[in-house]
């Protein structure tokens, strides 16, 4: 089904199941341990062997030799796969690294061997018996040191934008502006820190392989795995029914998947492989740190006349830039712009997608700059953002937003948060030894439209079965898909069975870029429209007039039990959603107003977040419970980004030294106060038949800057270098 905009009234609008706070239908399986994750498929394979991956212990160079004799002779060892015995696996989708094979070492921690043994402990012990000889080459590990070599680079996800994006005359407008901000901001490298590490179980049978792996997007993994294993896609069955978090780390296959499959082929037994946490951090991808230069020029009444945003970051040769300028393109009106990204070559593990890639770090800088501008103007930061709202793409004024209620987010947030109680003078509020501050920021994140398909079957017992390769990475996909099918077919939620994450099912958008919920439910909507037509045809009813509710099909004065349609056997329908050039006609985006109150110990500098509020404009909310969980998860990530998270680079060796969850600090419950989330919940009839939009990442966008601005309001010390640790403002 091609989505026709604007969406008219449709069965989802009834909102008898959709839009309700339904608890997760997969919850009981998760809390009873019966939801099997990739490393736990004891139910599916018998007698698995265990693989242990060895990562390169140099940052750049060549493997000259690997002496495997001692490891081969160690107890329990079945095989040792050396990178020197394999041709390099060609880089997969959206990446530039080879995961295994060949002598070249592109970055520290790159896989150079797999030891397979009867037990995990034997594999681990034997791995330490390998003797590896390297030829070390000089590496580039320090972004600041390489800054001078950086070159302007295109945004891989927005290739239509000029590399150097100029509108009007930025320099002249900035020079003429009566009020300006000209500042530099830095964000560190970060790691995803999802709970479940990358993990795979692989088993071969008759030349075909089944791979149970922790994948966000099944259809992004499967072609690469087929290529690396030298088999057809049809010979690879990929299953990912449960995933313990992804945050971008599992969008594309990492080395656990091909190595488990290669190991299983070598030993003729199923093999399980997981990455130890230090390898997750050093072997897989990171979010690349940024140095951002922002220049804002405004009239005295706060209208932006010039926006300059230059973002520098570093990545492997040929890899991509973190698109920190992405939100700046579309967030605020300003006639003169100069936006560009520069990329330096670094020999660190690849920078790639992580948690609102582009927008999250971009807004960490832009939204402090807006706070600084408001202060210089003597203007309220909420009012400054309202004045600069735009309802059209500033570059293409004929291209409106599908819906944009950012101003209402700001107004609602200010009222709900008690923003009028904020003292605009920094360092002027205290509570005993604590300095108190309030801050706010805007949040912006694109709503991406991707094709997504599903199959739905009406069973003879009246049950509905949904099948799609969509994944549930902890987000609630199972639940919202069940709600969608129940609403469309007029059956109770309990009648719906949802099966996900299997390459045997129709290809969905998958879980990434906050595009999963809206697109996957829309694909299922399309399949259900087809199923309704099939039901109506069997019953001799005109589908266009039929209403499906309470297990019945109603048309005129006829009322027939849905079960009548499947007396002779089940009915199956499969379809998907496509959008044509809809995102070219309308800017598809989501919005947030983020508010935070912090307390800073006046003696020690310790910071506590006391209150947080997010007001979210992301179209229709399919399930307020799971949507809220997405948003508070994002807000929690924002606390981490503001105050804690640093993937610290040892610039001598190219290693990440904060390489476990002890050293790589993320917020724990004690760090997180009451979080309030308000959804504006305006259906967007130009986004999809669900009238929903993305929700998975907007909750993070703007949060770190809101906290940074609150810390400034508390202390009067402006920190422009994340994370804001106490040493930076004492």
348: closest CA among 48, 497, 146?
146
Query: What is the C-alpha separation between 607 and 620, in angstroms, rounded?
Result: 36
CA 307 to chain centre: 27
Beta strands in 6-85 (DSSP E): 49-55, 61-67, 77-82
Give whichever of 513 and 619 is closer to ligand MOS, judged by the CB atom: 513
Q: How far apart are the first and last CA of the chain?
A: 59
500: closest CA among 476, 525, 522, 518?
476
Give whichever of 216 and 483 is closer to ligand MOS, judged by the CB atom: 216
Q: Which two tokens stand for residue 501?
A: 């994450």
Find the binder of ligand MOS among 355, 455, 457, 691 (CB under 6 A): 355
Give whichever of 305 and 352 is closer to ligand MOS, judged by the CB atom: 352
Which residues are paired to 115 by β-bridges? 52, 80
Query: What is the C-alpha separation between 65 and 59, in angstroms, rounded?
Result: 16
Q: Is 665 a catalytic residue?
A: no
Contact flag: residue 443 with ligand MOS (CB under 6 A): no
Contact flag: residue 501 with ligand MOS (CB under 6 A): no
One character per residue 214-233, x = contact with ligand MOS (rule: CB under 6 A): --x-----------------
Q: Is 49 helix (H, G, I), strand (E, B) or coil?
A: strand
Contact flag: residue 357 with ligand MOS (CB under 6 A): yes
* Pair 284, 198: CB distance under 8 Å: yes
Give whichever of 251 and 677 is closer to ligand MOS, judged by the CB atom: 251
Distance in Å, CB of 523 to ligand MOS, minimum: 18
Give whichever of 106 and 285 is closer to ligand MOS, judged by the CB atom: 285
Find the binder of ligand MOS among 353, 359, 371, 574 (CB under 6 A): 353
Contact flag: residue 476 with ligand MOS (CB under 6 A): no
Distance in Å, CB of 146 to ligand MOS, minimum: 25
One character per residue 172-211, x = contact with ligand MOS (rule: CB under 6 A): ----------------------------------------
Find the binder of ligand MOS among 354, 485, 500, 560 (CB under 6 A): 354
Query: Closest residue (Cβ) to ligand MOS?
Result: 248
Contacts of 365 (CB under 8 A, 6+ apart): 185, 187, 290, 292, 294, 309, 311, 324, 705, 720
Give whichever of 248 and 381 is closer to ligand MOS, judged by the CB atom: 248
CA contacts within 13 A on the Cβ side of 561: 8
Q: Which two tokens stand for residue 647?
A: 């993937």
Of the ranges 44-52, 354-362, 443-451, 474-482, which one interacts with ligand MOS (CB under 6 A)?
Answer: 354-362
Residue 394 is given by DSSP the state S
Contact flag: residue 244 with ligand MOS (CB under 6 A): no
Find the binder of ligand MOS among 513, 654, 702, 723 (CB under 6 A): 513
Query: What is the C-alpha separation between 700 and 641, in angstroms, rounded?
Result: 9
Find the binder of ligand MOS among 55, 109, 248, 361 (CB under 6 A): 248
Contact flag: residue 251 with ligand MOS (CB under 6 A): yes
Residue 478 is given by DSSP the state H
Give whichever of 63 and 354 is closer to ligand MOS, judged by the CB atom: 354
Strand order in the sheet with 607-617: 430-431, 434-446, 589-601, 607-617, 674-679
Query: What is the C-alpha separation between 327 and 361, in angstroms, rounded?
Result: 10
Distance in Å, CB of 354 to ligand MOS, minimum: 5
Q: Which two tokens stand for residue 474?
A: 């902890």
Distance in Å, CB of 641 to ligand MOS, minimum: 13
Ramachandran angles phi, psi of 726, nearest 5°: -65, -30
Alpha carbon of 686 to those of 249, 449, 584, 651: distances in Å?
A: 31, 11, 12, 48
DSSP 232-245: -GGGEEEE-S--S-
Distance in Å, CB of 667 to ligand MOS, minimum: 18
Distance in Å, CB of 250 to ligand MOS, minimum: 8
Give whichever of 354 and 517 is closer to ligand MOS, judged by the CB atom: 354
Find the binder of ligand MOS among 101, 244, 512, 634 (CB under 6 A): 512
Contact flag: residue 246 with ligand MOS (CB under 6 A): yes
Handedness of CA 713, 388, 290, 659 (dihedral sign): positive
Judged by CB under 6 A, how many residues of this single chain contact ligand MOS? 11
Scan residues 545-604 and list those touching ligand MOS (CB under 6 A). Answer: none
Of the ranges 240-248, 270-278, 300-308, 599-607, which one interacts with ligand MOS (CB under 6 A)?
Answer: 240-248
Ramachandran angles phi, psi of 406, nearest 5°: -60, -40
DSSP 501-541: SBTTSPP---S-TT-HHHHHHHHHHHHHHHHHHHHHHHHT-
One character per residue 264-283, x = contact with ligand MOS (rule: CB under 6 A): --------------------
Give whichever of 248 and 523 is closer to ligand MOS, judged by the CB atom: 248
Of the ranges 78-86, 105-113, 226-234, 246-254, which one interacts with ligand MOS (CB under 6 A)?
Answer: 246-254
Give whichever of 355 and 620 is closer to ligand MOS, judged by the CB atom: 355
* Residue that has been written with the tokens 């059209």 in this structure: 392
Catalytic residue numbers?
A: 697
Which parts of this chain interact with ligand MOS (CB under 6 A)? Answer: 216, 246-248, 251, 353-355, 357, 512-513
């Amino acid at each position: 089904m091609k989505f026709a905009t604007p969406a008219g009234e449709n069965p989802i609008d009834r909102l008898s199941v959709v839009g309700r706070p339904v608890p997760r239908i997969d919850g009981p399986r998760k809390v009873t341990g019966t939801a099997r994750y990739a490393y736990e498929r004891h139910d599916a394979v018998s007698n698995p062997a265990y693989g242990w991956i060895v990562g390169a212990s140099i940052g750049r160079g060549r493997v000259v030799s690997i002496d495997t004799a001692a490891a081969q002779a160690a107890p329990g060892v079945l095989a040792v796969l050396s990178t020197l015995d394999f041709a390099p696996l060609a880089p997969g989708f959206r990446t530039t690294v080879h995961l295994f094979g060949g002598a070249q070492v592109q970055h520290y921690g790159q896989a150079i061997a797999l030891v397979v043994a009867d037990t995990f402990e034997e594999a681990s012990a034997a791995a330490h018996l390998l003797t590896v000889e390297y030829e070390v080459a000089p590496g580039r590990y320090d972004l600041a040191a390489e800054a001078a070599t950086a070159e302007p680079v295109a945004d891989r996800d927005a290739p239509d934008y000029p590399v150097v994006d100029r509108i009007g005359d930025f320099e002249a407008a900035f020079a003429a502006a009566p009020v300006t901000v000209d500042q530099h901001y830095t964000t560190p490298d970060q790691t995803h820190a999802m709970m479940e590490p990358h993990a795979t179980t692989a088993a071969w049978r008759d030349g075909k392989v089944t791979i149970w792996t922790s994948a966000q997007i099944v259809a992004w993994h499967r072609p690469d795995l087929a290529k690396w294993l030298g088999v057809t896609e049809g010979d690879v069955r990929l299953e990912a029914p449960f995933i313990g978090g992804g945050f971008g780390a599992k969008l594309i296959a990492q080395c656990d998947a091909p190595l488990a499959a290669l190991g299983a082929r070598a030993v003729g037994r199923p093999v399980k492989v997981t990455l130890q946490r230090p390898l997750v951090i050093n072997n897989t991808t990171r979010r690349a740190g940024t140095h951002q230069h922002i220049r804002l020029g405004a009239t005295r009444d706060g209208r932006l006349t010039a926006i300059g945003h230059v973002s520098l970051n570093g990545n492997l040769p040929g890899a991509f830039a973190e698109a920190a300028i992405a939100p700046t393109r579309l967030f605020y009106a300003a006639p003169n712009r100069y936006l560009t990204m520069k990329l330096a070559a670094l020999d660190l593990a690849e920078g790639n997608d992580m948690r609102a890639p582009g927008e999250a770090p971009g807004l960490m800088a832009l939204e402090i700059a807006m706070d600084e501008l408001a202060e210089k103007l003597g203007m309220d930061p909420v009012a400054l953002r309202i004045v600069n709202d735009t309802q059209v793409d500033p570059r293409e004024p004929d291209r409106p937003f599908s819906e944009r209620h950012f101003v209402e987010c700001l107004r609602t947030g200010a009222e709900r948060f008690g923003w009028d109680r904020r003292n605009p003078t920094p360092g002027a509020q205290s509570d005993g030894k604590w300095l108190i501050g309030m801050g706010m920021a805007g949040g912006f994140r694109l709503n991406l439209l991707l094709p997504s398909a599903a199959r739905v079957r009406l069973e003879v017992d009246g049950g509905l079965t949904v099948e799609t390769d969509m994944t549930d990475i902890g987000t609630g996909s199972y639940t919202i898909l069940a709600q969608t099918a129940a609403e469309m077919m007029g059956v109770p939620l309990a009648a719906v069975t949802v099966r996900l994450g299997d390459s045997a099912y129709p290809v969905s958008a998958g879980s990434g870029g906050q595009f999963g919920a809206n697109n996957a439910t829309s694909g299922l909507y399309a399949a259900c429209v087809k199923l309704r037509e099939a039901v109506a045809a069997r019953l001799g009813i005109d589908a266009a007039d039929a209403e499906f509710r309470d297990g019945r099909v109603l048309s005129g004065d006829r009322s027939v039990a849905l079960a009548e349609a499947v007396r002779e056997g089940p009915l199956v329908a499969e379809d998907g959603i496509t959008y044509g050039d809809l995102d070219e006609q309308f800017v598809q985006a989501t919005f947030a107003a983020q508010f935070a109150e912090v307390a800073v110990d006046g003696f020690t500098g310790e910071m506590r977040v006391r209150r947080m509020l997010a007001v979210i404009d992301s179209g229709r909310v399919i399930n307020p419970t799971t949507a809220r969980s997405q948003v508070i998860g994002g807000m929690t990530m924002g606390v981490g980004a503001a105050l804690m998270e640093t993937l610290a680079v040892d610039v001598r060796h190219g290693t990440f030294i904060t390489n476990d969850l002890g050293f790589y600090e993320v917020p724990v419950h004690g760090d997180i106060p009451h979080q309030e989330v308000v959804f504006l919940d305006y259906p967007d009839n130009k986004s999809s038949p669900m009238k929903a939009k993305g929700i998975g990442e907007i909750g993070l966008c703007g949060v770190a800057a809101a906290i940074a601005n609150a810390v400034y309001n508390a202390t009067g010390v402006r920190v422009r270098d994340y994370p804001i640790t106490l040493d930076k403002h004492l």
